[in-house]
Every structure is written in C-alpha cells, then in structure tokens.
Amino acid sequence: MKRLMLLGASGSIGTQTIDVVLQHPQDFVLVGISVGHRIDVLKQILSKVQVKYVCVAEKQDRQVLEAQYPDITFYDGDEGLLALAKKDEYDLLVNALVGFVGFLPTLHAIESGHSIALANKETLVVGGELIKKAIQKHHVSLYPIDSEHSAIFQALQGNKNYQIKRLIITASGGSFRKLSRDDLKDVTVSQALAHPNWTMGAKITIDSADMMNKGFEVIEAHYLFDIDYDDIDVVMHPESVVHSMVEYVDHSIIAQLGAPDMRVPIQYALTWPDRYPLHLEKPLDLTQLSGLHFDKPDTDRFPLLALAYKAGKKGGNLPAVMNAANEVANAAFREEKIPFLMIEDIVISAVNSVGYQPIETVQDLIDANEYGRKFALQQIEGVNE
C-alpha cells in the first residue's frame, strides 16, 4: 500500500490522480490533500475518499470545514502546504500545484525524506539546482508526471544515460498552431483556452498557446535527466500521439505513444517500476490515425521557446524571473487586462532587464521571483492606466 500526499487536488492533474487512486483502492491510499479556493470540489472529493489531513487556501474556509468534518485535521495557506509536505506518515508527494507556490512544498518534502511525483514543472524551472542538490543529499526519487517527461522516462527504461544522444520533446503547438503572428494580435481568452488535443488547467493551456510551456519543459527535462540543453530538441507534432522520444548513440529512437490522457503518466509515476492496468475511455487506436506529422518549431513565431533555452543555459536567477513574469502576464491575459502577444513582450523584457545572479539559497529564489512579478505588474499597470 503506497501512502500519498496530494497537493493541488482540485485541479486537472489532482482530480485525475484521485481517479487513478480510486481505480486501485488496494494499492494506494490518500493521507492528505490540498485545494485552494474550490471548496465545492473538495467536498466532492471528500465524499469519495477518506483523508486525515486537508489544507485549504483561506483561514475562513478552514474554520467552516473544521466544524463540518471533525475527523479531519485542517490547515490553511502556504504554511499549511508545508505542514502537509513535512508529515512523516506518507510515502510519495504528488505535487499538482500550479506555479512557484509548488517549489517550497517540494523542497520540504524532499528534505523530510519523501520521494516526489512531480506535475508542478515550475518547481524545476525556477529551482532546478536546489532541488537536484536536495534529492542527492536525501537519497529520494523524482518521478515525472508531465506527459513528455514520462514518455522520456519510459523510453529510458533498460538503458543508460551515457547512451543518450538527444531527447526529442514533442509539441502540439497549442490552440494557435495554425495562426500567423499577425493573426495572434486579436485572439481572445476563450480561443486560447480551447486546446485541440489536451484538456488541462487554464494556466498551462495559455502557456501551451505561446509555447512558454514547451520552454519550461526543456528546462524541466534538463534537470530531470541531466542532459545538456544542446542535446534537447523540440519537434512539432500536432497529433499529440508520440509523447516524446529518446535518440540513443546508435541513432535508434525509442518513443512512447498513447492517447492524450494524463492518467497514464500519473499512474506510471505512482507505480514505477511496475505497471498496473488502467481503465481509459478512449485508449489509442493506431488504425484510426490518418497520419503522424513532425516539423521543426519556428522560434520567430514562438519566441518564448527560444527565450527558455537562453534562460536555461545561463541559469541562475533568469529562469525564476522568466517564470514569475510569465505567471503574472499569463493571469493578466486571462483576466483580459492585456492582449495575448503582450505576454511574450513582458516575459522577454523581464529576462532582458535583469543581470545574472547565482541562486545559492531559497531566499535568492524568492528574490528573483519577486523581481519578475513586480516587473510584470508594472508593465501591466502601464497598459491599464
């Protein structure tokens, strides 16, 4: 029986993780969960699973819930997330939080000896160096939930890292893959949120539309698999059937294919090195495919992909500044405060505005995050004055 702590339970990855857990009640048990403000979703979850600990964002919500669920111990806020991460009565932390908020709980879970199943890619984008050091020091494991990285992890089984020639990360191109830069000027939030292949949370769907997400995934792959940026390629693959590939030194390419269903990578992160049966409504039927296409990405069209390579290679504070500016700009676009293309402008100018600083402590990271957020907020205020 594997005991899980699930942070971000009400989001897309969180609810699918619970589905995987419910498919295997004899193998997994949820010890605790966190949600933000979606108390209605929390109540649905609590009608299906029994947990010992719950963390919510707001103190008021915690107080109301404490009266309604006397058998559960409640926490609130960022401190509550850390309290859950530090508990010793679980085996694996599933981090499905969105954004920089996911970093500290990951670090604290590692430091208290827990392995991590990571969907919160921002953890590695902003703090990859610190996380890597902590993992080595505490002898724990980090299992990817991101579909591309799960594909690479699966393609690596039975092989050695020194045999890798390059990683090939596939990219669908998101909601606007058929549009020119000119067309992108007037796109709306609802158009951006309509991803052709994947159903995901709002923030990552926007990150997919401008390919910031793919840039993050390059940095994530660099830290997960210890591969140079020059040996990580992105290939456009609009069908989202091949989830990513590894090319070996003998030029053999091993790929992982499947339906675009996150429960597959979630479950693999929970069961590795084993595989369990999984019920999917629509598993991949190869005979129904009309073709698979692969193409080079156009970095003029998607400048945030090029920016992520640049920030990743330089390292230090730059990825954290890039991520923070993107979190603010992404949210501002969703709130219709800025046009779509301004996300790129803000993120690029944030990175260009800051000098390189090494990240040696958590405080360095918090400072870089603050800088990126403030820079982006100022730009947005400028537009809305």
Residues of this chain that bind Mg ion (CB under 5 A): 146-148
Of residues 105 and 265, the one with the C-beta less far from Mg ion: 265
Least distance from Mg ion to the Cβ atom of residue 262, Å: 9
- CA-to-CA distance for 262 and 256, rounded, in angstroms? 13
Give CA angle at 10 (9, 11), nearest 5°: 95
Least distance from Mg ion to the Cβ atom of residue 124, Å: 12
Of residues 45 and 241, the one with the C-beta less far from Mg ion: 241
Of residues 225 and 375, the one with the C-beta less far from Mg ion: 225
The helix/strand count (H/E) of the chain reads as 15, 11
Of residues 212 and 325, the one with the C-beta less far from Mg ion: 212
> What CA dihedral angle connects 75, 145, 240 and 286, to 10 degrees?
-120
- CA-to-CA distance for 283 and 344, rounded, in angstroms? 36
Cβ proximity of 326 and 342 under 8 Å: no
Short-list 164, 350, 371, 179, CA closest to 247: 164
Least distance from Mg ion to the Cβ atom of residue 211, Å: 11
| Sequence-ordered alpha helix ranges (H) in 262-338 | 263-271, 303-314, 318-334
Of residues 61 and 146, the one with the C-beta less far from Mg ion: 146
Least distance from Mg ion to the Cβ atom of residue 288, Å: 23
Least distance from Mg ion to the Cβ atom of residue 201, Å: 12
Short-list 332, 366, 364, CA closest to 347: 332
Of residues 32 and 102, the one with the C-beta less far from Mg ion: 102
Tokens of 362: 């958590």
- CA-to-CA distance for 144 and 146, rounded, in angstroms? 6
Short-list 227, 223, 234, 224, CA closest to 306: 234
Least distance from Mg ion to the Cβ atom of residue 246, Å: 16
Nearest residue to Mg ion, scored by beta-carbon proximity: 146
Alpha carbon 346 to its chain centroid, in Å, reads 21
Least distance from Mg ion to the Cβ atom of residue 321, Å: 22
Of residues 106 and 379, the one with the C-beta less far from Mg ion: 106
